[in-house]
Structure 1
Amino acid sequence: MTTINESVLTVDEARRITAPFYDSLNRPAEKDVPGLLAQACVDDYESYHTNEEFLTRDQLANVFESMGEAIPDLEWEVVDLHVVDDKVIVRGRATGTPVAEFWGAAPTGKSFKTMAIDIFTVRDGKLANCYHTENWMTALDQLKS
């Protein structure tokens, strides 16, 4: 027997739920990243970067903070947001100019602009997990001297 989810997630609710998450990615060196992620994500949040491997909320905060140190002007824009049942799908755009080594690329003064796709599951009004992909190969190509 199939049940119907009676609490349908709206786009406005999805924007409110995801807002602290994306706020933590905008100039993260200037933010309380762990606090913003705690506001947006459940305690046992899982951020999948492969189908099997994930980072915890605390591990993800460390990644965002490291990115903020290397890219002080990091900006992450929500370009599109869609809701399907308990899923929030976000197409985002990341931009920035690294001032320190960033994933093997030496700082050159050049900036990058790349795309990201996030598929979140919402549980109890917070983000429970995310499967995501970013086009970092294109970003790193843009940074080459």
Structure 2
Amino acid sequence: MTSLRTILAAGSIGLATIASAASAGNKENVQVFYDFLSNPGSEAHAAAFMEIASEDWESIGDYSGKTKSRDDFVGQLGGFDKLVPDLEWAVEDMIEDGNTVVVRSRATGTPVAPFFGVDGQGRSFDILAIDIHELEDGVITRSYHVEDWAGALQQLSGR
């Protein structure tokens, strides 16, 4: 009986270790997403994102029914490094529950040209973002996101 308890305890410890390692992998892969957001002109960061996002990854930002594909997303970020050269997307909190990782982040930057039609005249923005990433086997399959772009435009317009 004692040896059975020992085997069960060892098995439980082993499973906890495996779960912890898998959890770290999910968070590390999600961090790659934010590293890419902070370095949108970097081919290395784009390639790293392509590695951790599934081929059929979806970006969902509203309830319009429209989604962005992985390739569309990478293409959309192209040029952001020139428009907002100091863009920083800092993860402030990351919570994992199974195959879901929720992130609270902060995006800051100073556009050097009109941004969404607003000439910021050297002003910066500092906004909150909330994202929910779904993963399968450590690969991001879907990302839901909400960013305070209205707040960014308000800050840039000086209101």
TM above 0.5 = yes
Work out whether residues 79 and 91 of structure 1, in 8 Å CA contact, stay in contact via their aligned partners in 2: yes
Correspondence for 1:108: 121
Please identify runs of 4+ aligned residues in structure 1 that moved more than 6 A: none
Identity of aligned residues (%): 34
User: Which of these residues, 28, 40, 49, is aligned with residue 61 of structure 2?
Assistant: 49
1:25 counterpart SS class? helix
More helix by share: 2
- TM-score of the superposed pair, with normalisation by structure 2: 0.80
Distance in 2 (CA, whole Å) between partners of 1:92 and 1:36 is 20
- Of 74-83 and 59-68, deviating more is 59-68
Correspondence for 1:19: 31
Q: What are the superposed Cα offsets for residues 37-81 of structure 1, whole Å, 9 maximum, x if unpaired? A: 212201110000123221000111122223222101100000010
Larger Rg: 2
Correspondence for 2:83: 70
Aligned length: 139
- TM-score of the superposed pair, with normalisation by structure 1: 0.87
Q: What are the superposed Cα offsets for residues 68-124 of structure 1, whole Å, 9 maximum, x if unpaired? A: 221011000000100112110000000000001211111410101000000010012
User: Which of these residues, 35, 57, 62, is aligned with residue 47 of structure 2?
Assistant: 35
Query: Structure 1 unaligned runs (5+)?
Result: 1-5
**Structure 1 residue 96 corresponds to structure 2 residue 109:** yes
